[in-house]
Structure 1
């Protein structure tokens, strides 16, 4: 499935591996639980490794491990759950995370502008039709009254 990254549509090279599934080759993301339980094996993985965060996951628990994590997927179970906005802001501002932050799940194209302002670098949509709308939404406003990560 394609993603939006660097304000263009690109092919997604990452695969999420469920907790009970065997690790696959290539670039993978895993849950925080799996990262915690299998960290040594994941650090030896031949591809890049990322983590998928649920809104209830504590960003602070990743602390010193962030340099090993190349992608963090912030999962939106519902577009009304704003905790992922806070997670993105904390990752970029408080923890100085340098890797990619990707929004996944059930959010709206209208939220892309605001997600980008708090540090989200890339976007995966359940409905590919939302991608063109999201690309234009990143540039919705030319004047900003509040400081942001970007």
Structure 2
């Protein structure tokens, strides 16, 4: 079983991953379902809050402009990072935070959720990381401190170096 880092702390996963054939728990246990299962639950409507404890795992091929109304009220959106060269879920995370103002949990899951990626995932708005099974959770926590400066602006609040330099004025000769 893989470890979960949420808000830069190693925590127990309080959600159950539910396969598409299993019934939703009647006791309100928090679960994560696939996008396909979520579409079946909604039956073509928008998210009306009927399932307050259901998180949704989105495929990285989903266009958020088309799917936002179906996930806007979810407490958790899990993004799929299946391979290192596939950066589509990075874009989804940024869009969720920056364009759509999503304030719930954005969880990264998949084969590419490893220490080397955590700092950049966090910069894009991911706040929970379902680590690949071979990753050391304690070692992964150090990844958030690997870099102190950034070159690009993102939703994490780190001021890019170029903005600080511009504000400081010209460098003396």
TM above 0.5, yes or no, is yes
Q: Give, in angstroms, the shift of residue 65 of structure 1.
A: 3.7
- For 2:88 and 2:62, how far apart are their aligned partners in 1? 10
- Structure 2 counterpart of 1:6: 7
Matches within 5 A, 1:4-83: 4-24=5-25, 25=27, 26-39=29-42, 43-45=49-51, 48-83=53-88
Distance of 2:107 and 2:129 partners within structure 1: 5
TM-score, normalised relative to structure 1: 0.88
**Does the 8 Å CA contact 1:49/1:71 hold for their aligned counterparts?**
yes
User: Which secondary structure state, in structure 2, belongs to the residue aligned with residue 68 of structure 1?
Assistant: coil
1:66/1:97 contact within 8 Å kept:
no
Moved more, 116-125 or 135-144: 135-144
| 3-state secondary structure, aligned to 1:79 | coil
Cα offsets for 1:4-41 (capped at 9, x unmatched) = 1111101001112111222234001111121122127x
Larger radius of gyration: 2
TM-fit CA distance, 1:49: 1.1
Task: Name structure 1 gaps, 5 residues minimum.
Answer: none
Which 5+ residue runs of structure 2 have no aligned equivalent? Answer: 157-173
Q: C-alpha offsets along residues 104-133 of structure 1, whole Å, 9 cap, x if unaligned?
A: 111121000000000000101132643222
Q: What is the alpha-carbon root mean square deviation over aligned residues?
A: 2.1
In the superposition, the TM-score normalised over structure 2's length comes to 0.78
Written as runs of structure 1 = structure 2, the 5 A alignment for 1:119-138 is: 119-127=125-133, 129-138=135-144
Aligned length: 149
Structure 1 residue aligned with 2:148 = 142
